[in-house]
Structure 1
Amino acid sequence: MKIMVGLGNPGKQYEHTRHNVGFDVIEELSRRFNIPLDQSKLKGLYGIGFYKGEKVLLLKPLTYMNLSGESIRAVMDYYDIGLEDLLVIYDDLDLPVGKIRLRQKGSAGGHNGIKSTVAHLGTQAFNRIRIGIDRPQNGMSVPDYVLGKFHKEEQLQIQDVVQKSADACEACLERPFIQVMNDFNQ
């Protein structure tokens, strides 16, 4: 079984904020794959279904960003899912809005959700899709920025990048990750 995890924060006030773009991708995959997110346990909201014969689990950890690894580890242990079948989708301050970058491993780069994931998995070697949200301007604090909504002029870019990220996730179910990485990182 493959597991695709979008990082974000639970609650209405965080919907469609920069920090929740991972959740947005999982919701798009839920729609595309017709896999309802209807199970709430193991500190997450998730659904299990099939896409082109491949069993897929879509997960939104409900632990808040800084503790994301707790839910990921719990779900992976419960369903006996290996690291090679994990894909984590999250926001990245170091990429411009509208850009995505696929990687097989790497540091947390200051991202608390990834720090938690690395701590709970005991490795930095897992597949990921980083979605650019850019850095705050005009002295705005990083927490205020990431918990804020996208500006009106960024809305179309974000809609496009959510679709592109979902396309990459879909491709990961059909081809080796390294091939998908090469295709989408151009």
Structure 2
Amino acid sequence: MKYLIVGLGNIGPEYELTRHNIGFLVLNKLADDKGVSFDSGRYANTAEVKHKGRQLFLIKPTTYMNLSGKAVNYWMKELKIPKENIMVIVDDIALPFGKLRIRAKGSAAGHNGLKNIEELTGGQDYPRLKFGIDNNFRPGQQVDYVLSNFNKVEFTFLPEKIDRAIEMIYSFASIGIVRTMNQFND
């Protein structure tokens, strides 16, 4: 079975450790753990890993966040992977820092990367793993906040939260979305 695991983020060193790049950070750690590296591909940097007989195609869109759907749509069709076998890892300001929540579908909730994926793949019916980054910003400061680096306290807890997100990805590919939601969501 094949799965497309999409980490959302922005390319460039200035964005590397920002809250908005948590999808990239999760996939970087997953690839490191498996001893693989990313290659340059069409609309995305790509890698492939195997887990319990499943093929996981990892992509980090190079289109910038707001055009992520272009990469997702292309690789979904190129690899012939159905929407239910896609997992999008995305930052979420509605969740406290480090809170992880997996969903089978849902609204973009104002997230431009998810909006673009919905537009180009034809709907909201694809799994996503939301990684809480909190909403510790003043009105009108959301963009600055999501594009800022994690603070020192957050950096302390980031590795364990990223490892937990990877567990959830492997679970999704192994036992499916429903059982993974039941096991990991609280």
- Normalising by the smaller structure, the TM-score range is over 0.9
Within 5 A, what are the aligned runs for 1:121-136? 121-136=121-136
Q: Percent identity?
A: 37
CA shift for structure 1 position 34: 3.0
Within 5 A, what are the aligned runs for 1:6-85? 6-38=7-39, 40-85=40-85
Gaps of 5+ in 2: none
Residue 110 (structure 2) pairs with residue 120 (structure 1): no
Runs of 4+ with >4 A deviation? none
User: After superposition, what is the alpha-carbon deviation per residue over 1:90-131, rounded to whole angstroms, capped at 9, x for unaligned?
Assistant: 100000001011100110000000001111111101111000
User: After superposition, what is the alpha-carbon deviation per residue over 1:146-180, rounded to whole angstroms, capped at 9, x for unaligned?
Assistant: 00001111112222211110110111222121101
Moved more, 108-117 or 151-160: 151-160
SS at match of 2:148: coil
Counterpart AA for 1:170 = Y
CA–CA distance in 1 between the matches of 2:139 and 2:148? Answer: 14
SS at match of 1:106: coil
Counterpart AA for 1:20 = N
CA shift for structure 1 position 142: 0.6
Aligned length: 185
Q: Note closer, same or farther for the CA distance 1:85–1:164 as it changes in structure 2 (3 Å cut).
A: same
CA shift for structure 1 position 33: 2.7
Pairwise CA RMSD of aligned residues?
1.2
CA shift for structure 1 position 36: 2.1
Counterpart AA for 1:147 = L
Q: When the two structures are superposed, what TM-score results if normalisation uses the length of structure 1?
A: 0.95
CA–CA distance in 1 between the matches of 2:177 and 2:108? Answer: 20
Counterpart of 1:153? Answer: 153
CA–CA distance in 2 between the matches of 1:59 and 1:105? Answer: 19
CA–CA distance in 2 between the matches of 1:98 and 1:41? Answer: 30
Check the 8 A contact 2:4/2:81 in 1, yes or no.
Answer: yes
Counterpart AA for 1:17 = T
Check the 8 A contact 1:33/1:51 in 2, yes or no.
Answer: no
SS at match of 2:4: strand
Residue 167 (structure 2) pairs with residue 167 (structure 1): yes
Gaps of 5+ in 1: none
